[in-house]
Structure 1
Amino acid sequence: MEKYIDIIKNSYSGYWNYLKHELISINHWDNYFYGLIFISFAVWILEIAFPWRKQQAIFRKDFWLDTFYMFFNFFILNLIVLIALSNTAATFFNDMLQNLGLTLSNLRLFNASDLPKWLGLFILFIVNDFVQWNTHRLLHRLPLLWNFHKVHHSIKEMGFAAHLRYHWMEPVVYNSLRYIPLALMANYSSQDVAIVHFFNIIIGHLNHANLGWNYGIFKYIFNNPKMHIWHHAKQLPKHARYGVNFGLTLSIWDYLFKTAHVPYNGKDIELGFEGDESFPKDFISQELYPLNKK
């Protein structure tokens, strides 16, 4: 038990020092803090220059709430719970393997450093996105998880910052379900992870942005604003009561597994979910909503 307490303490102090370093150091390309600001500002400029919904205000409904969510979920949440929880869970998992006479290195499918760089990154990206696609489906299908996911679907006007409006429990679920698949792929560097992560952020921001892009033929591979807006539609098709278009970065999973749905130009469809009129409007109440929901 003392070992796990030390891990939690070290996680807090280590991430706090990392966060301070990110704030004062801008001389490395994989700086998550300034990288997020740069990507967000760039996509916002695109929204202003090429708005899909021209009547939508530049500072749309809940713009500042979503901006707060963006920085809270991307940085503060890690400090509060995610890093400590992840490190503790990883150690617990490794301890369980050792009790069985196994180690994680014995179970790994391959060593990323033995592969060409592009192939290693491609495998990391594909496996990560597929696990997240399946996890996203669970968030819609299981009532307990759906109550957490409602925070994201309470968005009434789409914009880049809406990408990171989600309840703090969501990354706990995502990270828990993708830990083992990703742990079986060894020796990815922090730069490798940063490349995949920044690419996912860019596509995620674009998916939620007030842009009418569908990337041409690549719409069948990458998620896009014209597809993702139907995922947020308040009125779901009768054949898909749990939702459609679950892709995060890639749309190909939805086309392969028959969950794609883009019936027509959805520029002006109503967003939300049934009963969202009574859903809380402020950050604290939204975070507490699942705990108060029977």
Structure 2
Amino acid sequence: MDKYIDLIKNSYSGYWNYLKNEIIAINHWDNYFYGLIVISILVWILEIIFPWRKQQSIFRKDFWLDTFYMFFNFFLLNLIILIALSETASEFFNDILGFAGLSVSNFQLFDVDQLPLWLGLLIFFIVSDFTQWNTHRLLHRIPLLWNFHKVHHSVKEMGFAAHLRYHWMEPVVYKSLLYIPIAIIGGFDAQHVAIVHFFSITIGHLNHANLGWDYGRLKYLFNNPKMHIRHHAKKLPANVKYGVNYGLTLSLWDYLFNTNHVPYDGQDIELGFSGDEDFPKDFIQQELYPLKFKK
């Protein structure tokens, strides 16, 4: 037990030092703090120049709430919960394997260090995106998880920052289900993972932005604003119970598994979910909502 307590303490102090260095040091390209700011500003500028819903204000409804969510979930949430949790869970999992005379390396399918960098990153990206697509489906299908996911679907006007409006339990679920498939691949350093991460953040920002793009034929590969707004539609298709267009970065999985739905552009459709008029409007109450909700 002392080992886990020390691990949690070291995780907090280590991440706090990392976060301070991210804010102070701007001389490395894989800086997540300023990388998020740059991506956000660039996509926001695209929204301003090429607005799809022209009646929507530049500072749309809940703009500042979503901006707070963006920084809270991307940085402070890691400091408060996720780093210590993920480090402890990883060590606990390794200890369980150790009791069985195994280690994570026993499950690795291949050594990515022996692959060309581009191929290793491509495999990492595809495996992680497919796992997250399935996790996203679970958030819609399991009532307990859906109550957490409602925070994200409470967005009533889409904009880039809506991408990172989500309850803190969501990344706990995502990271837990993503741990084993990524452990099977393994072997990447932080700078290489940053390449994939920044790409995914950019696509996610674009998906939620006030843009009317579908990327032409690439829409069958990459998620896009016209496709993703359908995922946020308040009214689901008549033959659908849980949702459509679950893709995060890739739309490919929705087309392969028949969860795609883009009957028309959806420019002016109402966003949200059934009963969202009673959903809390402020950060604290939205975070507490799943604890209070009773079916």
- Distance, in Å, in 2 between the alignment partners of 1:106 and 1:291 is 39
- Distance, in Å, in 2 between the alignment partners of 1:243 and 1:186 is 32
Q: How does 1:114-153 map to 2 (within 5 A)?
A: 114-153=114-153
**What SS does structure 2 have at the residue aligned with 1:101?**
coil
- Distance, in Å, in 2 between the alignment partners of 1:230 and 1:52 is 14
Partner of 2:21: 21
- Distance, in Å, in 2 between the alignment partners of 1:54 and 1:211 is 10
Report deviation, 1:111.
Answer: 1.1
- Distance, in Å, in 1 between the alignment partners of 2:106 and 2:262 is 44
Q: Please give the per-residue CA displacement for 1:224-254, whole angstroms capped at 9, x wherever unaligned.
A: 0000000000000121110000000000000
TM-score normalised by L of structure 1: 1.00
Q: Does structure 1 residue 111 correspond to structure 2 residue 117?
A: no
- Distance, in Å, in 2 between the alignment partners of 1:124 and 1:83 is 21
Partner of 2:206: 206
Aligned residues: 294
Partner of 1:71: 71
Q: Please give the per-residue CA displacement for 1:20-40, whole angstroms capped at 9, x wherever unaligned.
A: 000000000000000000000
Q: How does 1:128-277 map to 2 (within 5 A)?
A: 128-277=128-277
Partner of 2:287: 287
**What SS does structure 1 have at the residue aligned with 2:238?**
coil
Which structure 1 segments of 5+ residues have no match? none
- Distance, in Å, in 2 between the alignment partners of 1:107 and 1:249 is 27
Q: Please give the per-residue CA displacement for 1:131-163, whole angstroms capped at 9, x wherever unaligned.
A: 000000000000000000000000000000000
Identity over aligned pairs, percent: 77
Q: Please give the per-residue CA displacement for 1:83-127, whole angstroms capped at 9, x wherever unaligned.
A: 000000000000000000101112211111100111000000000
Q: Which amino acid aligns with 2:281?
A: K
Partner of 1:8: 8
TM-score normalised by L of structure 2: 0.99
- Distance, in Å, in 1 between the alignment partners of 2:192 and 2:240 is 36
- Distance, in Å, in 2 between the alignment partners of 1:282 and 1:45 is 26
- Distance, in Å, in 1 between the alignment partners of 2:242 and 2:107 is 35
- Distance, in Å, in 2 between the alignment partners of 1:18 and 1:256 is 40
**What SS does structure 2 have at the residue aligned with 1:261?**
coil
**What SS does structure 2 have at the residue aligned with 1:76?**
helix
Partner of 1:38: 38
Partner of 2:52: 52
Q: Which amino acid aligns with 1:274?
A: S
User: 4+ residue stretches of structure 1 with deviation over 2 A?
Assistant: none
- Distance, in Å, in 1 between the alignment partners of 2:165 and 2:116 is 36
**What SS does structure 2 have at the residue aligned with 1:18?**
helix
- Distance, in Å, in 1 between the alignment partners of 2:292 and 2:270 is 26
- Distance, in Å, in 2 between the alignment partners of 1:141 and 1:126 is 23
Report deviation, 1:186.
Answer: 2.4
Q: Which amino acid aligns with 1:89?
A: A
- Distance, in Å, in 1 between the alignment partners of 2:227 and 2:275 is 23
Q: Please give the per-residue CA displacement for 1:49-102, whole angstroms capped at 9, x wherever unaligned.
A: 000001100000000000000000000000000000000000000000000010
Q: Please give the per-residue CA displacement for 1:167-194, whole angstroms capped at 9, x wherever unaligned.
A: 0000000000010000011211111110
- Distance, in Å, in 1 between the alignment partners of 2:234 and 2:155 is 10
Which structure 2 segments of 5+ residues have no match? none
Q: Which amino acid aligns with 2:49?
A: A
Q: Which amino acid aligns with 2:119?
A: L
